[in-house]
Amino acid sequence: ADLRALIGVLRDPGEEPGAMELAPGRGLDGVGDLVEGVRAAGLQAGVETEGDPAGVPAPVALAVYRIVQESLTNAVRHSGGTRVDVRLRYGSDAVRVEIADDGTGAGAGGEDGAGARAGGGHGVAGMRERVSVLGGEFASGPGEHGGHTVRAVIPVPS
């Protein structure tokens, strides 16, 4: 409901609610395809998952997909690295997402969100907003061992 309200705010004034066509959203099942795309672009990429994604509601799944999509696109276009890893942890209370590359640290365009735009996204600002709307926490910046890391914790309603 929160995401629908946000989309409504973004609609042009006077536009009818049904006028904006939205492509069907991808979910957690599409993360593997995103990683394959990164490999095809020439980077080494891995996915590590823990837990069961079965109980993740569609709005959370879509947010995770878009965060992974934006982060991987930024890694390919801007990091200058050779590897990027995606870690997804599915818990009963939250989904934890981490995308880390080994590049120069410019993967997400900096804290101001001026990075690449993937799939209609808005860089770091768009990822932060997706997580915030769902009541989660978001961080983007230099990784512990260099490169760039994006982290999100998105609550799963009980």
- pLDDT of 123 > 60? The answer is yes
CA distances (Å), origin 150, targets 31, 54, 121, 137: 15, 23, 15, 11
* The domain defined by 26-155 carries CATH number 1.10.286.10: no
Full-model pTM: 0.77
Between CA 28 and CA 21 the distance in angstroms is 22
Range 120-144 average pLDDT: 88
Taking residues 134-145, report their average pLDDT: 93
